[in-house]
Amino acid sequence: MTDAGFKVEEGVHQGAVPSGYLYTLGQNRAMQNHCERVEAEGGGVTVILDDNTTLALREVIFTLAKQLAEDLALVGLELQPAKSKAFITEHLRKEYDTIINLLDPGIWSHPDILTRQMLWILIHVCMQFTGDYWLRHWSLLHRRVCK
């Protein structure tokens, strides 16, 4: 028979009476820091145990969330970007829907259209109207490259 003691360094006792208090106390410094930063930007924070909600300007809210994630990491907690959510008001949502429809991949089917194909069109136009451009400037370009 082999036995050994090991120390549990993470977690509160699930279902125990003081666990809710202790969990909130453990993450308190991170949440208070977050609240100070958000209030400085004119926003607000509310937290119910492991569910936190931040209300702030759209321009700063994701930077604030990133700073919260860094603070939470100091007490062993991880803010999951994949499961976190962002909400905006209804009238702004309509604008975003318009942009999303314009960027519909069914209409713009190739990601290179804005670079490769348009570059091709520009070159084509250039060659069409100034067909001797490269011929007139080739020797000069060649000399610069060789130097």
Partner 1 sequence: MFSAYANNVVQGQFPNYFYEEYCARRRLVPANKVHPDLLRPGDTPDCRPINISSAECQIIERAYFDESLQASFARIVLEPVQNGVCVKGCISKTVFGIQAALDDNPNFAIFQGDIKNGYNEISRASIIEAVKEQPELHDILTYIYLTHNTKSYVAMGVAFT
Q: CB of 91: closest distance to partner 1 in angstroms? A: 7
Stretch that binds partner 1, among 56-64, 94-102, 117-125, 131-139 (CB under 8 A): 56-64
Which of 121, 122, 145, 56 shows the shortest CA–CA distance to 66? 56
Contact between 61 and partner 1 by CB under 8 A: the answer reads yes
Q: 5 vs 111, which CB is nearer to partner 1? A: 5
Site string for partner 1, 9-48 (x = CB under 8 A): xxxxxxxxxxxxxxxxxxxxx-xx-xx-------xxxxxx
Distance in angstroms (rounded) separating the CA atoms of residues 53 and 85: 10
Stretch that binds partner 1, among 5-13, 99-107, 125-133, 135-143 (CB under 8 A): 5-13
- C-alpha distances out from residue 115 to 81, 100, 119, 120, 128, Å: 30, 20, 6, 9, 20
**Burial degree of 68 (CB within 10 A; 0-12, 13-18, 19+):** buried
Residues between 77 and 96 that touch partner 1 (CB under 8 A): 77-80, 83-89, 91-92
Q: CB of 66: closest distance to partner 1 in angstroms? A: 10
Residue 45 is given by DSSP the state E
